[in-house]
Structure 1
């Protein structure tokens, strides 16, 4: 299967349109006539100009000022940084590849509406007849050290049987996967060059502002060394890909194959890793997302040192503070300022938060002096704290601000799940491919269940996972695993892990639309008995309108 560049419709390729020729000419003529009138009445024009000047000088008038600037020329910068940008080729087993790809950060449905995990970055050359053959996927990356460390996206290399890196000069080197972090969709590779390689440095994404020029370099559709430019559209975007989403949004065109490539500022520093686009067509429409370099720096340093990432664990489930909740909790209010903070809905038993005295109803407002405005802020900030270290937590209780020291645990070791739902944001992902959340009062109201129902809510389902194949859907309530009842996500995760350790089929007891049923999930095959009401067993695995960059 070969790929070709789509041709633009005639109307978009600059063909003449006679309907607009006459009005445009009329405007030009009108402009000439007005100029003549102004020249014939110079004194009157001067008087009007003085009046306009006096109006502009009136207090409160907006007077934009700024130097006249030409559009920047990036050619010199590109020549310097391009040798450190590489193309990455991953070989994957054909039977392990889904038509839509695997997904990026693996956050499942994640609360992002149509913005779902992203497929692989390049249209596969799918083989026919032999499922054991391999297929090829391509992405981008960049060199961060002279001895051959390369940064890319996790979804570019996940599931690969072999990976190779093509340098800017065409040299192809085999690559080893040093480590991957699905939660941030980052991966670190290592090649062994014959000499020192050109490399680029990470910049400070916290200094990036909307409106700033950025340049993306990568391998879109296999066209290595492609350069596009645009501006930063926004910061801190949550696209529902995982609990730690805080993307830079850019309008520099990026497409399939740009995944893992660097995003530069004009000083030649990398401020982001191009990861995803939002698109109804699969091509760029000017809405792209890059992982901030500050996140990249922290994750890659850990992958380089240990091959995996550890994160802080607090042990709370939190929700946003609405004006109604703020009023009900008697929280301090500022005129015109919406309430902020992370409202603790549940505290995990024996967790660092419980040991520190945190209770449901507390509103966490800062950690180590850094403001917490939303539950997502809490998840990100807690994850950044080194495990087994102390942190200072500030919270509101009964309208009064209090501070407490908390000994932060190790997520994945002490935490109830590997994806951080106990750090303030639902989104833990089990090995059967589900993300679980606690049954909060709000969720009970949405799902129409009372306090007599106990269990864990399916917050998201990873596309093509065993749970997806079995027909598990977001909104299902897991009330038991096998013969064991579960009352919260922690219980569910432990029970599922216990079954998986014994290589058993996982029998989930679920509650859907008021009906109880058992669903059998076979992790080895990705399938099992289907959930009730799901005729084809594919669950809710729609990819929406998001595509990989």
Structure 2
């Protein structure tokens, strides 16, 4: 191990602290040792009922959390990383070329960072955020009792912003966090955050659950978080958010802050999603459940048209023929109100329910149809990989030359990231100087029409491009745009 990793003191010195999260997450899964990452299986959930007592007076308000912290804190670790930046400054190269007739030798720079993690396996398995360890060349884990271990990344999923580390303890068991059930959390419940803010060392803060099912935060593809007002700061990423019994409620991931510090708005990945991630580490691949239903949040106007006195639920806008949702009788125009007793207000909540319930589970769904409540049972399936992707580079002379497209399927759409439609043609990649890049098309966009003709498959796109099409319509986040060459000039319209 290099000298910069011999002690956390040296590694932490002079750190430049950044935001706890909110970074752009690359789509994809990286993993090693699939099926062997968690030999003992996913940690079980502690099902002890949550005790909720309103304090009778000041004496109860001043009761101590010390016993809870004493039990849980040893299972929360500090993580220090070092990343070697071998890039060379273009300005320095120009300077050396001008004055010395040669290029400057590459001088690697070491970028250091910090975060937190939670021990989920006595044999040395630790969960943290993916953004804490992404791209790290060296990872050092420090326990609360000052023991230090080099760690290696064994599995990660950027879509969830979670990573699994492994340290070699030479057979010495480590303290393990008790796993709670985030689905049992309620607004107002006590929360305890443990982490390593600003590298000062393990720190404990308290608060309450400020909101559950918080979506639209823009942190990861699975938009579903527990919000807390417990103080969370840079360095807390990957640390534990505990419930009032000291069980893991979530993994601290992000804060809303304009100045970089805590403003009392922190977000944690729910423990149920952590368990999904740990199961994926065993198989080597994350597969979220699928029922073939798409929808959009109800507006006040659409709620009125549906015969509702207030907005609430997901308006079904698409049902894949033959899908579990279709077999259960769900129709376009239905309003999906709840899944297994949990309200559904948007697509993020539905995706979370499907991911955490798992393939093969039967869901109790409450629908509103023509003003009447109905119930249905839907069996969650794995998303199908049909049609085949057929990655196709577009050649010849057309507005799409240099673009590679592929057929979307429910499985491929899930792999690329939440928010994509489950059918159509998606842009996978393109060369930098492609005509499409110059008009604003980028990977992840959906090609809707080429040469004025609607397209549904890569074969349709290739056929129109072969005719020298100079007009293309595409969509991003549901918004369409059309551009083309008219009288030798580029013209676009919404």
TM-score in terms of structure 2 length: 0.64
1:94 equivalent to 2:85? Answer yes
Structure 1 residues 154 and 253, CA gap change in structure 2 (3 angstroms): same
**Among candidates 115, 118, 125, match of residue 149 of structure 1:** 125
2:365 corresponds to 1:387: no
The one of 245, 268, 281 aligned to 2:223 = 245
Q: What CA deviation, in whole Å up to 9, does each residue of 1:421-440 have, x standing for no partner?
A: 969xxx95775x8953589x
CA contact (8 A) 1:89 1:163 kept: yes
Q: Distance in 1 between matches of 2:450 and 2:122?
A: 50
Q: How far apart, CA to CA, are the structure 2 residues paired with 1:356 and 1:350?
A: 10
User: What is the SS of the residue equivalent to 1:378?
Assistant: helix
Of stretches 229-238 and 142-151 in structure 1, the one that deviates more from structure 2 is: 229-238
* Cα shift at 1:279: 0.6
Q: Distance in 1 between matches of 2:55 and 2:73?
A: 36
Alpha carbons of 1:198 and 1:368: their partners in 2 closer, same or farther (altered >3 Å)?
A: closer
Which consecutive residues of structure 1, in runs of 5 or more, have no partner in the other structure?
7-63, 97-127, 440-454, 497-506, 519-530, 534-549
**Is 1:165 equivalent to 2:164 in the alignment?**
no
Give me the whole-angstrom Cα distance separating, in 2, the residues matched to 1:422 and 1:144.
32
Q: Matches of 1:172 and 1:229 in 2, distance apart?
A: 27
For 2:484 and 2:106, the matched residues in 1 are separated by: 37
Unmatched runs of 5 consecutive residues or more in structure 2 = 1-12, 19-53, 88-103, 390-407, 463-470
> Which of 266, 272, 280 is the aligned partner of 1:288?
266
- The answer on whether the counterparts of 2:384 and 2:409 sit within 8 Å (CA) in structure 1 is no
Partner of 2:332: 360
Match of 1:311 among 288, 291, 302: 288
Write the mapping of 1:366-377 to structure 2, written as runs, cut at 5 A. Answer: 366-368=338-340, 370-377=342-349
The residue that corresponds to 1:214 in the other structure is 191
Q: Measure how far apart 1:413 and its partner are.
A: 4.6
The 3-state SS of whatever aligns with 2:58 is: coil
* Cα distance, 1:468–1:323 mapped onto 2, change above 3 Å: same
How many angstroms does 1:349 deviate by? 4.8
Contact 1:317 1:422 in 2 (8 A): no
2:261 & 2:111 partners in 1: Cα distance? Answer: 22
How many angstroms does 1:202 deviate by?
Answer: 1.7
Give, in whole Å, the separation in 1 of the partners of 2:64 and 2:418.
47
CA distance in 1, matches of 2:173, 2:353: 37
Contact 1:177 1:188 in 2 (8 A): yes
C-alpha contact (below 8 Å) 2:293/2:320 kept by paired residues: yes
| Cα drift, residue 144 of structure 1 | 2.1
- 1:159 and 1:429 map into 2 onto residues whose CA distance is 24
The match for 1:2 is: 14
Distance 1:353 1:416 in 2: 22
Residue 265 in 1 paired to residue 243 in 2?
yes
- Once the two structures are TM-superposed, the CA of residue 92 in structure 1 deviates from its matched residue by 3.6
Q: Is the 8 A contact 2:474 2:480 kept in 1?
A: no
Contact 1:313 1:414 in 2 (8 A): no
5 Å matches for 1:65-214? 66-69=56-59, 70-94=61-85, 130=106, 135-194=111-170, 195-214=172-191
Distance 2:418 2:353 in 1: 24
Q: Secondary structure at the match of 2:136?
A: coil
- Secondary structure of 1:381's counterpart equals helix
Q: Which moved more, 1:195-204 or 1:399-408?
A: 399-408
Partner Cα separation in structure 1 for residue 75 and residue 146 of structure 2: 12
- Offset, 1:291: 1.8
Q: CA offsets, 1:26-65, max 9 Å, x none?
A: xxxxxxxxxxxxxxxxxxxxxxxxxxxxxxxxxxxxxx99
Q: 2:368 is paired with a residue of what secondary structure?
A: strand
Q: CA deviation at 1:289?
A: 1.2
In structure 2, what is the Cα distance between the partners aligned to 1:248 and 1:310? 22
d(CA) in 2 for partners of 1:266 and 1:206? 14
Aligned partner of 2:448 in structure 1 is 479
Shift of 1:149: 1.6
For normalisation by structure 1, the TM-score amounts to 0.58
Aligned equivalents of 1:215, 1:284: Cα separation in 2: 15
Do the aligned residues in 2 keep the contact of 1:438 with 1:456 (CA within 8 Å)? Answer: no
CA RMSD of aligned residues (A): 4.7
Question: CA 1:167–1:311 in structure 2 vs 1: closer, same or farther (change >3 Å)?
Answer: same
Shift in Å, 1:262: 0.7
| 2:396 matched residue in structure 1 | none
Residues 438-462 of structure 1 deviation map (CA, whole Å, 9 limit, x = unaligned): 89xxxxxxxxxxxxxxx7899xx9x
SS in 2 for 1:409: coil
The CA deviation at 1:191 is 1.8
Query: Cα–Cα, structure 1 residues 5 and 369, in superposed 2: closer, same or farther, change >3 Å?
Result: closer
- Tell me the distance in 1 between the aligned counterparts of 2:225 and 2:284: 24
Counterpart Cα distance in 2 of 1:434 and 1:471: 21
How far off is 1:208 after superposition?
Answer: 3.6
